[in-house]
Chains A and B, each alone.
Chain A
Amino acid sequence: MRPLKERLPGSEPDRAALDRVWAGVARDLERKTVSPWPLAFAAVSVALAVAVVGWWRAASSAPPAQVAAAEAPAAPRFARVTLEDGTELGAASALVLSDGVVRVDATEGPADVRVKGLRFLATTGRFTVRVASEQVQLDVEAGLVSVTGEAVERQVGAGQSLVQALEAKAAWLPLARAGKFAEAADALGASGRRRVAGSSLSAEDRLLFSDVAQAAGEGAVVLSQLDAVAAADAGADVRALAAWKRGLRLSEQKGEEAAAARSFEHAVELGLPGIAKKDAAARLAEAWGKAGDAARAEAWRARAAETK
């Protein structure tokens, strides 16, 4: 029997929801303990998780045979992982990188770095992996790195680089069209979102992208995208929707109620699809009320009462 949940793809939690839950758990657990830095807690624990894997492996398992045979492994026996700015992430035998830059020092132990279908293995040496939305770049400083993936299988030596294009796909768009905005944001990564924000998009897709940026918590990008849709040569319904969303963002993110109310009014003038006129009038009455313009608030309240 096929469980019904397989027909409910919308119930798969996105990364942002999981992060919120974990942040709450970590915060409450932390209250019980001692640390005064709740913001740092969740992120630091991820770093610790990486370190602990290395520690466990160091304590409980032998390194791969090819290394054990060649070099006498000394502590920490696993590669040291450093972020772009020099922050030491710790010792790890295996790690997965989805975005950003890591520098791996495998002189004291092996490293196994996996990035979006590519695997970088080194038994010794130093190398850097840079992940962008469309490509992965490997720069080998010392030693030899074995790179394997569906489309690649080669060894990269000291002083050499490899740039491997990732599968060119606008993965974010189908996700956004399915309403999975947080997943779309994750699929793009920070650099991908910057690229899409500045790229050529249809007004409808840009409207969707504004929701993706919203899910990523990039408020300024949301507003710039909505402004771009409003100024685009698009249908009145799309521009109306952009103006309405812009009003919501101005109100909820920035507390700019008068600007929000003007944006709502613009949306109503353009002919707002999908939102009942009565609801729109009521929202406008609320916005003008919050903006301190009692006369306009009253006028819209009256319109809401008149409108079916």
Chain B
Amino acid sequence: MGALTTCVASLLSARVVSELRVADAELVSRALTGVEAARAMLFERHGARVLGLLIRLLHSRADAEDAAQDAFLEAFRDLGRLRDPAGFGGWVTRIAVSHAHRRFRRRKLLGLLGFTAEADASLEALSDPHERSESRAELALLQSRLDRLPVVERSAWMLRFVEGYELTEVAELLGLSLATVKRKLDRARRSLDDAADLLGSDA
């Protein structure tokens, strides 16, 4: 225990980060053989992107951190099921989106019970503080319209226009057909009405 304590104390005083030049596929294969560092490196490589996506999807930093934790945990525990080890990034993103959906549904239930979820990361709150007040108001309007959309429509719209994924990628992330995604996006666009147009997102 003493040696470990010393090591922890040392790492707190000197921050050393390994250079990540090893391919995902190799990291996955090492992680499968129980090399803990390989998992750490996979998280180091994909954690920020996944957590950022969840913050934008869930509008709550605490929820996003919990969902990211659950997603990586599930990804590492089910790593053996990953058919294409090079596709770890997309795989963990799909798991993260499904965890976001679970949280949306739980929030809906809590809402019915009279509890409101903490939303400290609305689009407006995440925007540049120096952005024009009109732009911030537009984001607030968009947020309020997004909040009223069904979960899958909202996710499809956000993945496409907030995250910038291609239609085929949105379909893959949501586990839907391309036709269904197009239909969901069309419905979302009609519900969002002018709120999306104001942002010039072609949405």
Contact = CB atoms under 8 A, between A and B. Distances in A.
Contacts of B15: 97-100, 189
Interface in B6-55: 6-19, 21-22, 26, 30, 35-41, 43-44, 47-48, 51-52, 55
A63 to B, nearest CB: 15
Interface in A27-82: 28-29, 32, 37, 39-40, 42-53, 56, 81
B113 interface: no
Interface in B101-133: 121, 123, 125-129, 131
Contacts of B8: 39-40, 43-44
A273 interface: no
A100 B16 CA distance: 9
B103 to A, nearest CB: 15
Report whether over half of chain A's contact residues are helix, strand or loop; otherwise say mixed: helix
Which of B1, B10, B16, B68 has the most chain A CB atoms closer than 10 A to its own CB? B16
A22 B125 contact: no
Given A4-B199, A21-B47, A21-B51, A100 B69 contact: no
A178 interface: yes
B52 A12 contact: yes
A95 B161 contact: no
Nearest to B76: A29
Given A3-B161, A96-B17, A98-B15, A12 B48 contact: yes
B160 to A, nearest CB: 9
A206 B138 CA distance: 34
A42 B39 CA distance: 11
Contacts of A253: none
Interface in A275-294: none
Given A46-B40, A53-B22, A83-B14, A25 B7 contact: no
A94 B16 CA distance: 10
Contacts of B127: 7-10
Nearest to A81: B16
A21 B69 contact: yes
A57 B118 CA distance: 46
B53 to A, nearest CB: 8
Contact of A11 (B12, B26, B56): B56
B43 A25 contact: yes
B129 A21 contact: no
A5 B18 contact: no
B88 interface: no
Given A13-B55, A37-B1, A49-B40, A43 B30 contact: no
Interface string A106-138: 000000001000000000000000000000000
B26 to A, nearest CB: 8
A206 B169 CA distance: 46
Contacts of B163: 3, 5
A205 interface: no
A283 B16 CA distance: 43
Contacts of A94: 18-19, 21
A9 B52 contact: no
B40 A43 contact: no
Contacts of B69: 21, 24-25, 28
B10 A85 contact: yes
Contacts of B10: 83-85, 87
A102 B14 CA distance: 7
Which of B14, B37, B41 has the most chain A CB atoms closer than 10 A to its own CB? B14
Contact of B11 (A7, A46, A53): A46
B202 to A, nearest CB: 5
Contacts of B199: 4
A7 B128 contact: yes
A28 B17 CA distance: 23
Contacts of B21: 53, 94
Which 3 pairs, one residue from A and one from B, show the smallest C-beta to C-beta distance? A100-B14, A3-B164, A48-B37
Interface of A: 1-5, 7-13, 17-18, 20-22, 24-26, 28-29, 32, 37, 39-40, 42-53, 56, 81, 83-85, 87, 89, 92, 94-102, 114, 178-179, 189-190
15 contacts: A1-B202, A11-B121, A21-B51, A21-B65, A24-B65, A25-B43, A28-B73, A47-B11, A48-B36, A52-B35, A53-B19, A83-B10, A94-B21, A97-B17, A100-B16
